[in-house]
Amino acid sequence: MMATVLITGAAGRIGGMLRPRLAAPDRVLRLLDLTALAAGPGEEVVQADITDMAAMTTACAEVSAVIHLAGISNEAPWEHVAAANIHGTYVVLEAARRAGVGRVIFASSGHAVGFIPRAAFPAADYAFPAPDTYYGVSKVAGEALASLYHHRYGMDVICVRILTCADRPRTVRALATWLSPDDAGRLFEACLTASEPGFRVIYGVSRNASGGWASLAEASSLGYQPRDDSEPFAAEVLAEQGQPDPGDPVHAFLGGEFCLPSLDASEVT
């Protein structure tokens, strides 16, 4: 049977990585974004704002799972983050419920627990929130909404605390936190196909030799088998940026740069 998967924020970086990797003969990818997109084979396009309940309920019609990526993906003033990421995630979940969607996969972030200190690595699955920014707070709120929609309505909801998803690791920190595009594909495929996952909070990261910053146990239990390692990029990144200094605050917490004073509220305009 043909299954339709709605991807919000499909025009973004991760959306672009997932499109070819989640394509399947028995699956339609319904791509939703504020930005215009062109549909390829097996794809549909919806141009909409995730805060628009009517548009989102229509977009969720006949959908078997939502991958919710849309939102502000960086630190920003509170009003913007709250509107797009907290209210937007509420609308996505509520629209999914109204349309009878059984599963939502939420792109949370390591910044929901960014202030976990190095001494506590690997960060535990379901670690209590320790957000490092308003952005991180918005992901914690999204996880709380996800929990509500699971417990009250029985929806399967998987919150993926993604670390650093990029085509390649560009910083010394990212050698530990990198999630490769192919592993992102494997991870979201596992989230789509795991049987009756219930409510989960997992980390999204590759099997980096210099990693170990976050648990992969819960993600593995859903069937995620990471294959990529930042190691082939290490020599080049270290030659350019030097060995990590454990005293550097960027390496002291899971959230890295997001934990620095440069993101104090007075500095974010």
Ligand X SMILES: NC(=O)c1ccc[n+]([C@@H]2O[C@H](COP(=O)([O-])OP(=O)(O)OC[C@H]3O[C@@H](n4cnc5c(N)ncnc54)[C@H](O)[C@@H]3O)[C@@H](O)[C@H]2O)c1
Q: Which residues contact ligand X (rule: CB under 6 A)? A: 9, 11-15, 33-35, 49-51, 69-71, 73, 84, 88, 107, 109, 162, 164-165
**Could you tell me if 24 and 4 are in contact, meaning their C-beta atoms sit under 8 angstroms apart?**
no
- The nearest distance, CB 110 to ligand X, in angstroms, is 6
Nearest CB to ligand X, comparing residues 70 and 137: 70
In the block, residue with structure tokens 């379901």: 126
- The nearest distance, CB 269 to ligand X, in angstroms, is 19
From the candidates 90, 126, 134, 135, give the one annotated as an active-site residue.
135
Nearest CB to ligand X, comparing residues 78 and 245: 78
In the block, residue with structure tokens 């209210």: 87
Q: Which of 184, 192, 182, 183 is nearest to 222 (CA)?
A: 192
Measured CA distances, 10 to 19, 36, 37, 60, 122 (Å):
8, 10, 8, 15, 30
**Could you tell me if 149 and 97 are in contact, meaning their C-beta atoms sit under 8 angstroms apart?**
yes
* 128/117 Cα distance (integer angstroms): 13
Nearest CB to ligand X, comparing residues 142 and 197: 142
- Provide the CB-side half-sphere exposure for 107 (13 A, CA): 27
Nearest CB to ligand X, comparing residues 46 and 222: 46
135 is catalytic: yes
- The nearest distance, CB 247 to ligand X, in angstroms, is 25
> Which tokens sit at 174?
């990212």
Length of the chain in terms of residues written:
269
* 12/22 Cα distance (integer angstroms): 15
Give the residue closest to ligand X by C-beta. 12
- The nearest distance, CB 49 to ligand X, in angstroms, is 4
Active site residues: 135
